[in-house]
Chain A
Amino acid sequence: MSDNTSEFSADAGDGETADPTADDMVIETDVASATSSSETTTTPDPIIRSRDLDVFYGEEQALDSIDIDIPENRVTAIIGPSGCGKSTFLRCINRMNDRIEACRVEGELSLRGKNVYDPDVDPVALRRRVGMVFQEPNPFPKSIYDNVAYGLEIQDVEGDHDEIVEQSLKRAALWDEVSHQLDSSGLELSGGQQQRLCIARAIAPDPEVLLMDEPASALDPVATSQVEDLIEELAEDYTVVIVTHNMQQAARISDKTAVFLTGGELVEFGDTDQIFENPEHDRVEDYITGKFG
């Protein structure tokens, strides 16, 4: 585990990171003392953990003191009304917010115990461990093959790239539709196919976490259900964090649900069934039942 951590530290030597047991201990103490949201003891150790995470865009606060423990190999859904900061939180995990000049992040957000906002963390290395799928399908104007192989090439992934591309397309449930036209442009595919291509592209370099920012909101119902099935399957091997506007979608595919409400607050986080059937907070219940938002 310490290897995983050191790989995205820009200049961390082998000895620099704390030994794994210490890391684990730190995490467990924090979990124990954390909010009531982490009651469920059956979930594995959190792979992503945030403490007191504040994000500002200029003067405006987008996230207010977020504490969350996202479990490994589960689908965690983030829901909430527009402007509640759910996408902002997602983009903190792989530091895509760095691209916004006015954005300022305070507090801690760790991936396997390593704070990704530490000065020695290289965002490029971080993003190689944390894949991302965006709202609008955005394949590169390259061939289908080159789209999937892109991450393998820039990350110098070893092994048979043809094989990895095929496996990734199969896992993204796209292989049967495109196996005969790998050389044609990714832009020639339909919207739903493009999004599955983007998923294949994201999983090809085998990241640890897959972030999805409303991945189905630009798709028709058939394509949406294909992508949803896919997400459930991916959770067997990946930690998936998905932002969605669609509460039915969150209920269908996620194990854990985090509800962000206006003001950038994480109001409730827990097992999806519990959140949807018996939320602790009235505001969450109002939101889920459609009284607000």
Chain B
Amino acid sequence: MSGDSLADDLTRRTQNAPPELLSRTFFFVCAALSIATTIGLIVLLTTEAAKFFTFSAPLVGVEGETATVVEFLTGTEWQPTSGRFGVLALVTATLMVMIGSSIIALPLGVGTAIYLSEYASPRVRSILKPGLEILAGIPTVVYGFFAIIYITPMLQPFVPGLGTFNMLSACIVVGIMIIPMVASISEDAMSAVPEELRQAGYGMGATKFEVSTDIVVPSALSGIFSSFILALSRAIGETMAVTIAAGSTAQFLNPFNPATYTERALPMTAAMIKLIGGDVTGGGLAYRSVFAIGITLFVITLAMNVISDYVAQRYREEY
């Protein structure tokens, strides 16, 4: 071996060898594709929504003008076939799904997470965690039928005047649907709390409950908040279950009045399904309103993601 060959070896450029270049390109394309798709969707949503707002009457099958942005955002009546585009009727229904499902999912999800992370033996955990993941994997349309076939009939004896389609069942079923998400992400956050902190708590004479609530939960707070926001985003975006269970009648309801939950309503996602599924023909005003709802929904979920990131940053504990 001469010194030259060693120098050759050391200076070889493996980084630029064809297989390296090829794999780098491949992985770049993979990453670029998802970003490109996202950008494409945003552009599509924006341009189509813009067309909706700039339509000028008269149109085939539609009487009168399209809604202005202000009318769209502040109107409380949703009758796309009659040219009434008040998205608030849909937003309040979505808000009801959010509120109702979180009343069920947040406490149960965090409770499940505490049980899994602090109380369950490794054996129990090894059964329960996959069980939760199965719950998360059930197609949402199944949840929808579950709501009208089981939940509503079970509720009817207790809630007078409850129709087959109602927001209450929709909220319950979405709540059940998002429990695994809250539980799983919260449990990850709680399991990441260092054992030393628990030891410190037990060493002070804290009970298991005190260690869980005083030490583990506060230490995992940023993760728990993140799970809430992600679960709520899922509740907002949930389509099939609410379309089936809530009854597809757009009504402007007060989401803070429990009595309104016995009514039918039309959340944003369900309204979009309804529009695409049958109400309208392509190209018309009502059709374009799908994109106006879509971009509203997108802005809401985007905002929630931003809040989630902020919360996770703000409350992150450096153990």
A and B pair up:
yes
Residues of A141-158 contacting chain B, CB below 8 A: 141-142, 150-151, 154-155
The 10 closest A-B pairs by CB, nearest first: A128-B205, A132-B203, A127-B205, A138-B196, A141-B317, A138-B200, A151-B204, A141-B219, A154-B206, A154-B210
A-B contact pairs, 29 of them (CB 8 A): A96-B202, A99-B202, A124-B205, A124-B206, A127-B202, A127-B203, A127-B204, A128-B205, A129-B205, A131-B204, A134-B196, A134-B203, A138-B196, A138-B197, A140-B201, A140-B215, A140-B218, A141-B218, A141-B317, A150-B204, A150-B214, A154-B204, A154-B205, A154-B206, A154-B210, A155-B205, A198-B200, A201-B200, A205-B204
Task: State whether B214 touches A154 (Cβ < 8 A).
Answer: yes
Number of residues on chain B facing chain A (CB within 8 A): 20
Task: Collect the chain B residues with CB atoms within 8 Å of residue A151's CB.
Answer: 204-205
Please measure, in the bound complex, the distance between the C-alpha atom of A128 and the C-alpha atom of B206, giving whole angstroms: 8
Closest to B215 in A: A140
State whether the Cβ of B254 lies closer than 8 Å to any Cβ in chain A.
Answer: no
**In the complex, A142 Cα to B317 Cα: how many Å?**
10
| Interface hits, B167-191 → A, CB 8 Å | none
Q: How far is the CA of A202 from the CA of B203 in the complex (A)?
A: 8
Total contacting residues, chain A, CB less than 8 A: 27
Report the bound CA distance from A125 to B196 in whole Å: 20
* Interface pair B205/A138, CB less than 8 Å apart: no
A96 CB contacts on chain B under 8 angstroms: 199, 202-203
Secondary structure of the A side of the interface?
A: helix
Cα distance, A187 to B200, chains bound together (Å)? 14
Indicate if B318 sits at the interface (CB-CB under 8 A): yes
Q: Indicate if the CB atoms of A202 and B204 lie closer than 8 Å.
A: yes
A24 within 8 A of B: no
Decide if B194 is an interface residue (CB 8 Å cutoff). yes
Chain B residues within 8 Å of A198, by CB: 200
| A-chain residues with CB within 8 Å of residue B318 when the two chains form the complex | 187
Chain B, range 210-267, C-beta contacts under 8 Å to A:
210, 214-215, 218-219
A136–B205 CB distance below 8 A: no
- Contacting B197 at CB < 8 Å: which of A124, A126, A129, A140? A140
Judging by beta carbons under 8 Å apart, are B200 and A134 in contact?
yes
Find A201's partner among B199, B204, B207 (CB 8 Å cutoff).
Answer: B204
Q: How far in angstroms is the closest Cβ of chain A from B22?
A: 47
